[in-house]
Amino acid sequence: MPVYKVKVKWGKEVYDAIDLDTDLETAVFKAQVFALTSVPIERQKLMFKGKVISGASWDAYQIKDGITLLMMGTADKIPEEPIEKPKFIEDMSENELTTALDLPSGLTNLGNTCYLNATVQCLKTIPELKEAITKFVNSHDSGSFAPNVTASLRDLFGTMESRSVVAPMVFLTVFHMAFPRFAEKSPDGNLIQHDAAECWTSLMRSLQQDLKTSDKQGTGDNITEARASKNQNFIEQYFEGNFAVTMKNTESEIEEETKTVEKFLHLSCFISNHEVKYLQSGLKYSILEETLTKFSPTLQRDCLFTKKSLLARLPAYLTIQIMRFEYKGREAKILKEIKFGLTLDVFEMCTPELQEKLLPMRNKFKAQEDKLLAESQNADRKKDDKKGDKKDEKPKYQYPYYFKDDIGSNNSGYYELQAVLTHKGRNIASGHYLAWIKRNKDEWFQCDDDNVTQVTTDDILRLSGGGDWHCAYLLLYGPRVLEVDDKPDNPDI
C-alpha cells in the first residue's frame, strides 16, 4: 500500500512526516490535518503545486515522499472567557469533586451523529469487550492510517478513558469509509440522521470479523482455559444465542415437523399487538410461536406453518430491540409504553434441555438470597447492638456466569440491565438518540452526546415510553453474577 511521508505548511507552521495513504480518500488525510491544526475539514483548502486538492481520490496528483502541501483555513475560534468563573479543585466540596472527576467521557455531536455516539457509549459498558478490543492488533498499526473500524474504536475507547469530552472525528471518518450509507448528506450538505439499530448491527459486524478470544479468559480465581473445540470468535461467544426451531404444517397430518437451529445476535420485541405491555410478554409474543406461509413439499403448495422457537443457548450479553417503527404506507413510531425491568429472567423461553442445565446455578442464587434474607432479619433484631461496628461487606468470590465448557454463555438465565439506548421523536430519520449507561451497582448516567449527567434507577424505568419523551429502543442486558462472602469448597456448577 503506497504510504508517503509529506509536509503540510499552514501559515508559519510546518508539520513534518505526516502519513499520506493514496489508497484512502482525501478526507482521511484531512482528518489527520484537523487533529494537528484544529482546522475543520470543511474549512481546509489544501494545495499542491498551485492546484487545489478536491474530490475523494489522489489519482490526479503526483504524490511522493517529502513533498509539501500548502493549507489555507482558520482554526476553530479560541473560546471566550466564560461568564461563570471556573471552580478549581481545591475550592470544590467533596460532592462536587466526586462529580467533576468521576463522570464517564462524553462524545461531541459532529452533525446528526447522536445515533453513533449513543451506540459507542452502550458498547463501552461491556468489560469483556473493552478488554478484547484493547488487545486487538491491526496489521496496519505500525504506521499507516488504515480504515479499520475495530482499531479506530479501540483508539476511541482509549481516548475516552483520559478525557472528559472527545470529538470522535477520526472514528467517524473511518466508520463512514467502512459503511458509506452512513455518510449520506441532505441537499443542504448536512449529514443525515440514521437508525441507531442499524449502526449497532454494523459495528457488531466489524467486531465479529476482527475480534478473537484469548486462550485464557476470566479474572482472579475464575480464569478458565478456552476449549479448542469452541468457536474462538469473541462476538459469537459473548453475544450470539441459538434458537431450537420446530416447524409444523398445520394443513397436513402426515408431513413431519422439521427441527433446525437458528442463530441470533439480538432479540426483537414486537409491540404492535395491543396486548403487549411488558418486555417479557413482548419477547414471548415475538419468539415462542408464530404462523407463517411456506411451501409444503408434501402438498406441493403454500401452506400455513406453525413455527415454535425456544432458546437453546444464552449469550452472556443479550441485546433486545424494541420494534417501535413500522411501515403502513409511511413510517410511523409506536409510542406505547412497554415496561421493562432492571433484571430479566428468560428461563421460561428456554428449551427443556437448557433449563435443566440452568437449574444448578439458579439454585445457588436461591440459596444465597435465602441466606441474605435470614441475615437481614437477624440484623434487624440486633440493630441496637454494637452500633458503628462495620465490617467489609465486599464479596470475596464471584461464581463464573458462563458454563465451564462454553465461555461467553449465560449459565443461569438471569440478566441485569446495563445500558439503554433511547430515541426521542416521531421519525427514525430524525429526532435524537441518547445512551443511559450503568457503571457500578445502581450508578447510572445519561449520555446526551458531550453532556453527561448522573441519573437514578427511577429515571431509567421512566424510559418505557408512552409519550414524546425518550423511549427505550435498544436494551443491553448483561449476566447476573452470583457473589458470595467466601470461596466455596467445590465451586464447579
Respond yes or no: is residue 432 known to be catalytic: yes
**Which has the closest alpha carbon to 428: 194, 202, 182, 122?**
194
Contacts of 486 (CB under 8 A, 6+ apart): 396, 397
Grid coordinates representing 385 are 447492638
* Rg value, the chain, Cα: 27
Catalytic residue among 274, 350, 432, 470: 432
Residue with cell 448516567: 445
Return the SS3 of 143: coil
Catalytic residue among 114, 122, 269, 350: 114
Whether 99 contacts 454, CB under 8 Å? yes
Q: How many CA atoms within 13 Å lie on the side-chain side of 106?
A: 20
DSSP secondary structure string for all residues of 146-210: ---HHHHHHHHHHHHTT-SEE--HHHHHHHHHHSGGGG-B-TTSPBPP--HHHHHHHHHHHHHHH
Contacts of 155 (CB under 8 A, 6+ apart): 170, 171
3-state secondary structure 34-52: HHHHCCCHHHCEEEECCEE
Respond yes or no: is residue 114 known to be catalytic: yes
Longest Cα separation, the chain: 87
Contacts of 169 (CB under 8 A, 6+ apart): 31, 34, 35, 41, 110
**Which has the closest alpha carbon to 13: 62, 63, 52, 68?**
68
Active site residues: 114, 432
